[in-house]
Amino acid sequence: MVFNQVEKPRRDSRIPLYVQIIDNFSEAIRKGVLQSGDRLPPQAELAEYLGVSLAPVKQALSELEKQGIIMRRQGLGTFIRDITPVREERIQYTRIPWFHREMAEGGFKPSAQVLELEKLRAGFDKQVQDELKLQAEDEVVLLKRVRLADDMPLAIQSAYFVADKVPGLVERNIAPQESITGILADEHGLTIAAAQQRISADGATAEDARYLNVAEGGPLLLIERTSYLENGEALEFLRDRRHPSWTFTVWLSRQQAP
């Protein structure tokens, strides 16, 4: 373990020190700096390295233990649990999720297997039509892919784009390592400015079982996201069916009362 690569908390931040410590530990685990079975230094040594008192260190470790991220062994010390950091997405309210970027920043090789790339009438799916604010006869481009990290299947994503905003996309050969967000920006001059995301539970279909190595009918996560351009027009509606072992971590901060 290279513990000196764990980021130190900032005293000039409005986020409490113990919350920063939790966040920095989670980030170090996600990036592979801290790995399963690593033994943490004693609390006093942690506090000295992090430049804080013992109180926030104790509070942070207690919370990390509750979350199942670390475990204490009597007489042996504190250890990182056997977890899979690649199957976690940390939601920041100022940052729009982007699978390719999140995986790359975590030290994993993102890739994709294209299942479908075709034009359809928006009316074939009422939700797609409504989310993209289209007429039934308008066209959308469907890009359906299995998303992988280090060749491990994590999700089946079906992205529906307003067709007249992405001319030539259906005819384009999208390579396994290419990012659709990068293609939209570089080749179509489109940058997503805002998005609304919903997360719910769903049952695995036969297709999910085939590509995600899960049991048909078993639980998985369904993420639905509509993305908008700076002018407020909808560009993409995404259905993202995630492996059930995936987790989401959301950090919240209390605002000052008016």
Q: Write the single-letter amino acid at 4.
A: N
pLDDT for the residue numbered 45: 92
For the entire predicted model, the pTM comes to: 0.64
Residues linked to residue 223 through DSSP beta bridges, in sequence order: 199, 240
CA 64, 67, 73 angle in degrees (round to 5)?
Answer: 60
Question: Would you give per-residue pLDDT tens digits along the chain (258 residues)?
Answer: 467 788 899 888 878 888 889 888 877 877 778 887 888 999 999 999 999 999 999 998 988 887 677 888 888 888 887 555 445 555 555 556 667 777 776 677 889 999 999 999 999 999 999 999 999 999 999 999 999 988 889 999 999 999 999 999 999 989 998 989 889 999 999 988 888 889 999 999 999 999 998 899 999 999 999 999 888 899 999 999 999 877 766 655 555 555
Tokens of 132: 């993209």
What domains lie within the chain, and their CATH numbers? 3-83 (1.10.10.10), 91-249 (3.40.1410.10)
**For residue 25, what are the contacts with CB-CB under 8 A and spacing of at least 6?**
6, 34, 60, 64, 69, 70
